[in-house]
Amino acid sequence: MTKAQKRRMDVTEMRMLRWICGKTMLDMIPSSVFRENLKVRSIVDKLREERLRWFRHVRRRPLTAPVRRVEALTVDGVRRRGRPTRRWEDRIKLDLKELILTEDMTSNRMAWRARITIDE
């Protein structure tokens, strides 16, 4: 997800939260007030949590599982010019770094769930 996409998701989410509460931007109420009243987390944080849940699921699969075999798959050919697009694997590495996690932690389900869950 790019910064622009993240910003658009945040804006859209806040528009929906304001709409649920029956308020507009003209009411000049901070975004944090809506989050506290509705007891919701950021959609971007929720996406990261779900990404890491899937990562744990994939890591616990045997190496012969199709999901694990695709990870090791390499595609021959010439890459396009310019900056490479961000892969799922790259995003996971950044998420693990942000939350100070390692791949070894995926074996303990309860500890992993506790570390990736973002509280209100």
pLDDT at 111: 86
pLDDT digits (tens, 9 = 90+) for 80-111: 888 888 888 888 998 889 888 888 888 888 88
> pLDDT class for 33, splitting at 50, 70, 90?
confident
Output the pTM of the full model: 0.73
Separation CA 21–CA 86 (nearest Å): 36
Helices within 1-120 (DSSP H only): 3-21, 31-38, 43-60, 66-71, 88-98, 109-116
Place of tokens 């570390």: 115
* pLDDT over 60 at 120, yes or no: no
pLDDT digits (tens, 9 = 90+) for 13-29: 899 989 988 888 888 88
Geometric angle at alpha carbon 93, from 79 and 120, rounded to 5°: 135
Average pLDDT, the chain: 85
Separation CA 56–CA 67 (nearest Å): 12
Separation CA 114–CA 101 (nearest Å): 12
**Contact of 39 with 26, CB cutoff 8 Å:** no
**Contact of 53 with 47, CB cutoff 8 Å:** no
Place of tokens 């990261």: 48
